[in-house]
């Protein structure tokens, strides 16, 4: 077709096809949680803004004309996209054409997303689905178009293809894409190596106590509650980036909850079971071991949400046994759940309640896949390209080893969490939740708190972390760090990387943007700021204990990291 009528009819058919395919884009391509969430029907009819659609049609026609007008002398489109960078791409006409066509179609699809007239959740779901589809269909993911992979195959006389096939078969057997050389790591040998012992255990968790690194420790012990959706050793990867070791080196008598990886024997466990039988039990056991009336506590991510529940239960019971609390990238007010909001609506939560609300397991690999596909180019498709198309073995990286070490969740726990927090945001509503037989009211949780959020966090947005300052009534300190959900937290001072923001006037206005207007950016890690704050709530220094636990009730059961953390999903 060369005349305007032909171009217009072609574009009209293309737009009609896209308009009819939105419901299909909300379905396939994604495993586990992603597929189920994206298959939910839109919450309002999908239509397009006429003016935006007309402008998009005109732009698309012009780009198509320009594209075919390049003839036999294509030019690689100017782009900062690292997937198509390098001389190999620029010198391969077929690859150049594939990238140009892909980017043209991507602009058209994303333009259609912008033209959608629907409620915000529907728009967000459509955008998320389109972005997933675009990430999957990039020319770099296919050997026929990937100029780098083709050149490597020629240089290695096909050996890279053979290795790529072997890598693919290996990953199919293990059930997930290899992000790192997992054979190079072993929990307890070169990750999770801070010296300590298990001093208590039940069916839900082991309580680890760490060997002091200082002759004196603060009298109030310090308990960390990591998320049970992951394994605790994200806080203890290597000695040089271990938040656990850092706390011990600061003179804190440190305890950590190491969650059991649930199997069918725990498939009936509820949210109440985890709060009463784990978080509250851990607090009580640390008190008993140290023989003190109060301890300091820290919750990370979901562990922070669980800790907030436990503190509200203690307040309802009139038990004043926690001196201070730290919340790292924690959701307490679920009004802004970031990108995860695309999964949550009544239909999706009801489906999960039907599937596992009365028993069952939320498989760790499904959860891991979901979180990986939140950043598909960085955490999925680049490994497909490197591992399978180029036949490379990914380099060893402790954080990615941890990321692949998935954990299950009990179905009743998971379904209750989805409804009461993500869907109905009940934790901030006084009396709306009953946990462990107590009505929760965060207004009664009046202890001092340290709240940390990461500026580029896509799981707990910085605004959402900051929102806790408007809910908790005690004396508060908020600090924001650079980077994301994990890299922002695991940022040891010795690395002298990134930066953090503090506000010394103590003001906590309604929004993060207002807070930032009066904040100062400081170079390096936030860890030292937090360490000084924690020392202010830790009491006087006393001689460090010579043994783990406290005889005769709490003896060392086995060396840290213990056996629970080594259980695979």
Any idea which residues carry the catalytic annotation? 301
Q: ω into residue 561 within 30 of 0, thus cis?
A: yes
For residue 62, the Cα-to-chain-centroid distance in whole angstroms is 41
Q: How many CB atoms lie within 10 A of CB 344?
A: 19
Provide the 3-class DSSP secondary structure of residue 389: helix
Which residues, in sequence order, are bridge partners of residue 502?
520
Query: Alpha-carbon dihedral of residues 171, 176, 178, 179, nearest 10 degrees?
Result: 170
Task: Give CA–CA dist 485/491, Å, rounded.
Answer: 11
From residue 510, alpha-carbon distances to 335, 393, 456, 514 in Å are 14, 48, 20, 7
Provide the 3-class DSSP secondary structure of residue 416: helix
Helical axes 93-115 vs 50-69, angle rounded to 10°:
170
Dmax of the chain from CA atoms? 91
For residue 124, the Cα-to-chain-centroid distance in whole angstroms is 19
Asked if residues 260 and 519 have their Cβ atoms less than 8 Å apart, the reply is: no
CB-neighbour burial class of residue 284 (10 A; exposed 0-12, middle 13-18, buried 19+)? middle
In 522-564, alpha helices (H): 527-535
Neighbouring residues of 166: CB distance < 8 A, sequence distance ≥ 6: 391
For the CA atoms of the chain, what is the radius of gyration?
26
CA 548, 286, 188, 328 torsion-angle sign: negative
Neighbouring residues of 431: CB distance < 8 A, sequence distance ≥ 6: 439, 440, 441
100: its two tokens: 């140009």
Q: How many CB atoms lie within 10 A of CB 435?
A: 22
For residue 176, the Cα-to-chain-centroid distance in whole angstroms is 17
Angle value at C-alpha 510, between 507 and 511, nearest 5 degrees: 100
Task: Give CA–CA dist 365/43, Å, rounded.
Answer: 28
């Amino acid at each position: 077709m060369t005349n305007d009528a032909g171009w217009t009819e072609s574009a009209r058919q293309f737009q009609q096809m896209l308009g009819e395919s939105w419901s299909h884009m909300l379905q396939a391509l994604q495993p586990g949680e992603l597929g189920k969430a994206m298959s939910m029907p839109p919450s309002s009819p999908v239509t397009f803004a006429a003016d935006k659609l007309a402008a998009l049609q005109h732009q698309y026609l012009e780009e198509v004309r320009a594209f075919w007008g390049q003839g036999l002398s294509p030019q690689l489109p100017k782009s900062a996209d690292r997937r198509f960078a390098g001389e190999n791409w620029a010198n391969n006409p077929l690859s150049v054409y594939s990238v140009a066509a892909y980017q043209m179609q991507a602009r058209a699809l994303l333009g259609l997303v912008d033209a959608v007239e629907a409620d915000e959740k529907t728009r967000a779901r459509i955008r998320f689905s389109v972005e997933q589809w675009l990430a999957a269909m990039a020319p770099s993911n296919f050997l026929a178009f990937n100029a780098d992979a083709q050149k490597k195959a020629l240089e290695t006389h096909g050996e890279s293809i053979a290795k790529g096939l072997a890598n693919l078969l290996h990953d199919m057997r293990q059930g997930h894409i290899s992000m790192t050389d997992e054979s190079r790591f072993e929990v307890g040998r070169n990750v999770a190596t801070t010296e300590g012992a298990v001093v208590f255990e039940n069916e839900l968790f082991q309580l680890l106590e760490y060997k002091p690194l200082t002759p004196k420790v603060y009298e109030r012990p310090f308990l960390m509650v990591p998320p049970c959706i992951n394994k605790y050793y994200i806080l203890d990867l290597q000695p040089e980036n271990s938040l656990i070791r850092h706390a011990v080196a600061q003179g804190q008598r440190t305890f950590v909850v190491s969650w059991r990886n649930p199997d069918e024997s725990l498939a009936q466990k509820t949210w109440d079971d985890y709060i009463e039988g784990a978080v509250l039990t851990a607090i009580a056991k640390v008190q008993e071991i140290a023989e003190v009336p109060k301890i300091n506590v820290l919750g990370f991510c979901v562990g922070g949400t669980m800790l907030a529940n436990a503190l509200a239960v203690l307040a309802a019971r009139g038990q004043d046994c926690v001196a201070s609390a730290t919340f790292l990238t924690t959701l307490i007010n679920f009004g802004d759940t970031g990108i995860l909001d695309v999964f949550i609506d009544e239909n999706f939560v009801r489906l999960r309640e039907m599937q596992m609300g009365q028993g069952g397991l939320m498989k760790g690999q499904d959860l891991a896949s979901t979180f990986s596909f939140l950043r598909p180019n960085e955490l999925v498709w680049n490994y497909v390209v490197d591992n399978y198309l180029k036949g490379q073995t990914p380099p060893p990286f402790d954080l990615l080893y941890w990321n692949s070490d998935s954990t299950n969740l009990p179905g009743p726990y998971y379904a209750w969490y989805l409804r009461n927090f993500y869907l109905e945001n009940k934790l901030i509503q006084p009396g709306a939740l009953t946990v462990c037989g107590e009505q929760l009211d965060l207004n009664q949780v009046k202890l001092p708190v340290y709240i940390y959020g990461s500026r580029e966090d896509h799981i707990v947005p910085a605004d959402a972390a900051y929102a806790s300052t408007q809910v908790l009534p005690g004396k508060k300190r908020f600090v924001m760090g650079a980077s994301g959900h994990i890299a922002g937290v695991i940022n040891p001072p010795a690395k002298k990387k990134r930066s953090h923001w503090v506000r010394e006037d103590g003001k906590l206005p309604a929004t993060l943007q207002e807070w930032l207007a009066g904040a100062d950016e400081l170079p390096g890690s936030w860890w030292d700021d937090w360490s000084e704050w924690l020392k202010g709530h830790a009491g006087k220094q006393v001689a460090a204990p010579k043994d783990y636990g406290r005889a005769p009730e709490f003896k060392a059961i086995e060396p840290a990291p213990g056996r629970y953390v080594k259980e695979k999903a």
